[in-house]
């Protein structure tokens, strides 16, 4: 079903305005009116689920090495904000820029006082067996979100480029919706089949640029579509013309402002 206007999701919490994957970024995006947020999750050495995009720590913290090689306590001692220009320009609460675990993010979203959508992208699906998905579903169960109800304070959708990860979610939590992320359109998807009961197709903006009618084609094949990562005016024009169900952006406010004018 196509919504009246696309849902707007803050990619990595809205990675443009504030340091990605910090609670400060997520809260700002929601204050700005985003319908939901996108979060990449990785596993720590001691089995914690943390919101970090890269395999390594080097780009987004003052640490170095693999996220999966550190414990939660080691990661918690790092600075995940100073690398971003906004960290110096704005007074951000220390509590809002430390390591964000998925559990902290869920807790903060649950306390927002209005329903919020959370897109969780599981990274490294083959490296640790089913551990990421298993721990994710365990957390969702603890928060009562594994069997979604319309009045849940947080509506969780899991995303992956890997059919393997979608299959695990389907097995562990069949009622949790999933997004199949794609850089190309596999033939089966074009014919109307997403892997393992996925409900939503997630084409990247590079795919949309190279096949400008791809969102319409995916809709015609019966899929909802969430497009990532839409940050620039020409891309937004291209995507909006095809009425996607969701737009994932590092600049959610820019997208929301634009939607108000439509």
Indicate which residues carry an active-site annotation: 11, 53
The answer to whether residue 245 forms part of the interface with Ca ion (CB under 5 A) is no
Is there binding between residue 25 and ligand G3P (CB under 6 A)? no
Nearer residue to Ca ion within complex by CB, 120 or 239? 120
Count the residues of the shown chain that bind Ca ion, applying the rule CB under 5 A. 2
Question: Which 30-59 residues touch Ca ion, going by CB under 5 A?
Answer: 40
Query: How far apart, in whole angstroms, are the C-alpha atoms of residue 98 and residue 231?
Result: 26
Backbone angles phi, psi at 239, to 5 degrees: -75, -45
The CA distances from residue 85 to 20, 22, 96, 160, 207, in Å, are 12, 14, 16, 30, 30
Closer by beta carbon to ligand G3P, 35 or else 38: 38
Identify which of residues 40 and 133 has a Cβ nearer to Ca ion in the complex: 40
Q: Which residue's C-beta sits nearest to Ca ion?
A: 121
Residues 110-149 that bind ligand G3P (CB under 6 A): 121
When asked if residue 53 is in the footprint of ligand G3P (CB under 6 A), the reply is yes
Contact partners, residue 219, CB within 8 Å, separation at least 6: 2, 225, 242, 243
Comparison of 142 and 183: residue with beta carbon closer to ligand G3P:
183
Question: Among positive and negative, which fits the CA dihedral 24, 25, 26, 30?
Answer: positive
Q: Using CB distances below 5 to 8 A depending on partner kind, what does residue 181 bind out of Ca ion, ligand G3P, none?
A: ligand G3P
- 64 dihedral zone (left: phi>0; alpha: psi -120 to 50; beta): beta
Question: Partners of 249 in the beta sheet?
Answer: 10
Say whether residue 250 binds Ca ion (CB under 5 A).
no
Residue 248: contacted member of ligand G3P, Ca ion, none (CB under 5 to 8 Å, by partner type): ligand G3P
From the list 24, 37, 181, 247, which residue makes contact with ligand G3P (rule: CB under 6 A)? 181
**Residue 160 burial (10 A CB sphere; 0-12, 13-18, 19+):** buried
Residues 6+ apart with CB under 8 A from 107: none
Instruction: Decide: is 245 part of the binding site for ligand G3P (CB under 6 A).
Output: no
**Token pair of 111, please?**
């306390």
DSSP 8-state secondary structure symbol assigned to residue 13 = G
Count of residues that interact with ligand G3P, criterion CB under 6 A: 9
Residue 201 interacts with which of Ca ion, ligand G3P, none, CB < 5 to 8 Å by class: none
CA within 13 Å, CB half, 180? 25
Sign of CA dihedral 154, 80, 235, 199: negative
Query: Binding of ligand G3P at residue 11 (CB under 6 A)?
Result: yes
- Rank residues 73 and 206 by Cβ distance to Ca ion and give the closer one: 206
Q: How far is the CB of 205 from Ca ion (least distance, A)?
A: 13
Give the interface with Ca ion as residue ranges (CB under 5 A): 40, 121
Contact positions toward ligand G3P, by CB under 6 A?
Answer: 11, 38, 40, 53, 121, 181, 228-229, 248
């Amino acid at each position: 079903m196509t919504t009246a206007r696309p849902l707007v999701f803050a990619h990595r919490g809205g990675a443009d305005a504030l340091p990605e994957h910090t609670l400060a970024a997520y809260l700002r995006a929601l204050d700005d009116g985003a319908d939901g947020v996108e979060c990449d999750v990785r596993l720590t050495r001691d089995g914690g689920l943390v919101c970090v995009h890269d395999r390594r720590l080097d780009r987004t913290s003052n640490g170095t090495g693999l996220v999966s090689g550190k414990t939660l306590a080691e990661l918690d001692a790092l600075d995940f904000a100073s690398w971003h220009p906004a960290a110096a320009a704005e007074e951000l609460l220390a509590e809002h820029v430390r390591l964000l675990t998925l559990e902290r993010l869920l807790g903060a979203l649950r306390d927002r006082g209005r329903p919020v959508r959370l897109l969780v992208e599981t990274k490294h699906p083959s490296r640790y067996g089913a551990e990421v998905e298993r721990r994710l579903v365990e957390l969702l169960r603890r928060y009562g979100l594994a069997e979604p109800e319309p009045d849940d304070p947080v509506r969780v959708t899991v995303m992956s480029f890997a059919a393997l990860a979608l299959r695990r979610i389907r097995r562990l939590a069949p009622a949790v919706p999933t997004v199949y992320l794609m850089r190309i359109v596999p033939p089966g998807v074009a014919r109307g089949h997403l892997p393992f009961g996925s409900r939503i197709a997630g084409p990247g903006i590079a795919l949309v640029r190279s096949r400008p009618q791809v969102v319409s084609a995916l809709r015609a094949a019966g899929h909802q579509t969430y497009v990532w990562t839409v940050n620039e005016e020409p891309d937004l024009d291209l995507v909006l013309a095809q009425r996607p169900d969701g737009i994932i952006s590092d600049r959610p406010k820019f997208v929301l402002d634009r939607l108000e004018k439509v």
